[in-house]
């Protein structure tokens, strides 16, 4: 049985992503209050896996998580893309007219703002986690309160779904990274044909340095799917570059890496894995 650490509690979108990635496998979910705690637990337990949200199609990149992955020393072994469909859930027997407060994570509230604003008597209250907002309602039997959460969270905490798919933008997807300690990553990826890589590096502070890297990747027909820059603390106007590459020929990809490495500083390969497929739009 695999054990996987998530940020949040059972019913959180991280659990949904984990169960989709390891579909059909028995999982033990290890809740963590923060992403920092997640990586601390992984450092203490080499067999523990982790799953980390890294990017949302509406909110953009989760920049602190890029840095946590880099510093953790873990390896990315896969990714899972999930359509985020929010539900409004309350105690059984409650109706929308009974609701006075809406509790959820700030991001979920923002993503459902149009629906929430259509009920002028509601008060939106921020919570640490979507699933925690649901659990608090059930644990304390709070009437007049609803949570914006996943359908899994509503089911887990025995709440009734009053409205489904209340997010304003239906093209709301989050990309999650599955990470493991390097020794375990090697075992899990044995015989897996990878087609994506994530890495981070810095560049000399000189004109055209990034353009040279992009030109080499293009020459080797390597597809750059994402580039994200983060400032380096204590080094004014210098940046780390996080990039994702996809490829259909591993040998050509390795040739491209050999060609660009002499031009890079502080290079770190974060992981090689299989690119995650886009979800089919199912409600979650």
Among all residues, which ones are annotated catalytic?
174, 176
Give just the sign of the alpha carbon dihedral 86, 91, 97, 98: negative
Contact 52, 61 (CB under 8 A): no
The CA R_g of the chain, rounded to the nearest whole Å, is: 21
DSSP state of 96: G
Consecutive H or E run containing 36: helix 35-44
* Cα dihedral 10, 13, 15, 21 in deg (nearest 10): 170
Q: Which of 85, 77, 14, 83 is CA-nearest to residue 51?
A: 14
Contact 1, 28 (CB under 8 A): yes
């Amino acid at each position: 049985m695999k054990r996987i650490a998530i940020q949040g509690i059972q019913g959180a979108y991280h659990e949904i992503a984990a169960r989709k990635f390891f579909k059909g496998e028995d999982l033990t979910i290890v809740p963590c209050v923060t992403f920092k705690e997640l990586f601390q637990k992984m450092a203490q337990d080499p067999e523990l896996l982790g799953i980390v949200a890294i990017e949302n199609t509406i909110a953009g990149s989760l920049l602190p998580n890029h840095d946590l992955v880099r510093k953790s020393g873990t390896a990315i072994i896969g990714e899972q893309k999930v359509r985020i469909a929010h539900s409004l859930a309350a105690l059984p027997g409650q109706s929308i007219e009974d609701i006075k407060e809406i509790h959820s994570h700030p991001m979920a509230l923002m993503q459902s703002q149009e629906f929430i604003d259509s009920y002028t008597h509601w008060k939106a209250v921020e919570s640490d986690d979507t699933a925690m907002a649901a659990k608090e309602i059930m644990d304390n039997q709070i009437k007049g309160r609803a949570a914006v959460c996943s359908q899994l969270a509503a089911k887990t905490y025995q709440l009734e779904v009053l409205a489904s798919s209340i997010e304003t933008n239906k093209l709301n997807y989050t990309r999650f990274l599955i990470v493991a300690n390097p020794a375990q990553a090697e075992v899990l990826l044995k015989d897996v044909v990878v087609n994506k890589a994530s890495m981070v590096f810095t560049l000399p502070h000189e004109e055209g340095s990034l353009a040279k890297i992009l030109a080499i990747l293009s020459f080797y027909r390597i597809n750059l799917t994402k580039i994200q820059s983060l400032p380096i603390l204590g080094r004014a106007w210098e940046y780390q570059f996080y990039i994702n590459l996809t490829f259909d020929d591993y040998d050509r990809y390795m040739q491209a890496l050999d060609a660009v490495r002499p031009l890079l500083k502080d290079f770190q390969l974060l992981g090689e894995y299989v690119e995650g497929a886009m979800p089919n739009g199912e409600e979650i």
